[in-house]
Amino acid sequence: MTWLITGGAGYIGGHVLQQLVAADVPVVVLDDLSSGSPDRLPDGVPLVVGSTLDRALLDTVVRQHRVTGVVHIAAKKQVGESVAEPLRYYRENLTGLQTVLEAAVAGGARKVVFSSSAAVYGTPDADLVTEATPCAPINPYGETKLAGEWLVRSVGRAHGLSTASLRYFNVAGTSSPRLADDGVSNLVPMAFQRLTDGQAPLVFGDDYDTPDGTCVRDYIHVADIAAAHVAAVHRLDAAAEPLSLTLNIGRGEGVSVAEMLAVIARVTGNPTPPRVTPRRPGDPARVVAAADLIHRELDWKAQHDIESMVTSAWAAWQQR
Ligand code: WQD
């Protein structure tokens, strides 16, 4: 009944792992430690250091640990980098997934949970993005996630696997400083960085067609993301027949950049007014999830609000 967690030493993977262990799900982690850290692993969890591109290693892990399911989180996730290095992103994200699926099928593992992203939607023309909203990624990162979903679904159908592709919206916050995001490539850490350096946080454009002119997103606490994975693992473990799920993980509530920066100013106690710069290319005005399907399918609902995301991330930031 062991689940293999790829990318379990990363920011999201570490949170998923913590909650799976708390739920008594037996786990083994595969991580190449390119951005992950062994410090994120709970005591006693076996860590195999290696690549998802290493088929022989995956075969060994699946066999030795009697892996029956895989939560595949390991991936590259920087949009700008994916535009500059599409070959690397397709290899790491898509060939990596393919190799994991090959090993899973060959070793008799019957369940797969795949980390997808709201990036599959591109610039959606919908107030609330449902899983039926057309997918039209606008960068190689999003393309690898959409193609990954197709591969997962097709392999599931052909080989009788139960699968769940989980489309994360904008992940933020942390359950503990040890598990925190150490990257500075999203709004919350980027604002922290600027404030720490004595600079004004930046607003990438305030002339969007939104209530306050700044972009609107659906921010979701990483602990809620992790809880959705535990629910998906339980659902797939319990499925009598092969199952194929594709689900948004969001709160269903839009928050603008200006609103987010106001919370950040309050939580950090730093009132430096933000500075508006021109739009960042490729940013959609609004991306907010409809979160009804995951509630119905997994009985999951987000528990954490924006305040909790910013407060936990700031506490971790100060301990860096
Ligand atoms: C959020 C909003 C910026 C920094 C990205 C990927 C997506 C997914 C999550 C996953 C935007 C604005 C930001 C700043 C700002 N990737 N902003 N000032 O772009 O919504 O989503 O991360 O793994 O695929 O595209 O997230 O945090 O970069 O930006 O005004 O200093 O904040 O323009 O509107 P984004 P983000």
- Return the number of other C-beta atoms located less than 10 Å from residue 39's C-beta: 9
Do 106 and 117 belong together in one domain? yes
Asked whether residue 299 is domain-assigned, the answer is no
Q: From CA 143, how far away is CA 157, in angstroms rounded? A: 21
In a domain, 296, yes or no: no
User: Residue 154: which H helix or E strand, with range?
Assistant: helix 140-159
- The pLDDT assigned to 96 comes to 98
Are residues 133 and 43 part of one domain?
A: yes
Residue 201 CA: nearest ligand 1 atom is: 31
What's the gap between Cα 171 and its chain centre? 7
DSSP output for 114-139: EEEEGGGG-S---SSB-TTSPP---S
- Residues marked active site are found at 141
The answer to whether position 78 is within a domain reads yes
| Same domain, residue pair 54 and 115 | yes
Q: What is the pLDDT of residue 47?
A: 98
Which atom of ligand 1 approaches the CA of 203 most closely? 30
Average pLDDT, consecutive stretches of 10 residues, N- to C-terminus, the chain (320 residues): 97 98 98 98 97 98 98 98 98 98 98 98 97 98 98 98 98 98 97 98 98 98 99 97 98 98 98 98 97 98 98 97
Number of domains in the chain: 2
Report the CATH number at residue 182. Answer: 3.90.25.10
Do 120 and 260 fall within a single domain?
Answer: no
Q: Within a domain: residue 295?
A: no
The alpha carbon of 242 and the centre of ligand 1 are apart by a number of angstroms equal to 35
The reply to whether ligand 1 has any atom less than 6 angstroms from the CB of 119 is: yes
CA 261 to CA 132: how far, in whole Å?
31
**Ligand 1 centroid, distance to 99 Cα (angstroms):** 30
Q: Is residue 298 domain-resident?
A: no
Same domain, 76 and 34: yes
The residues near 263 (Cβ < 8 Å, ≥ 6 apart) are: 306, 307, 310
Q: Which pTM was predicted? A: 0.98
Range of the domain at 183: 173-217+251-289+304-318
In this prediction, residue 1 carries a pLDDT of 87
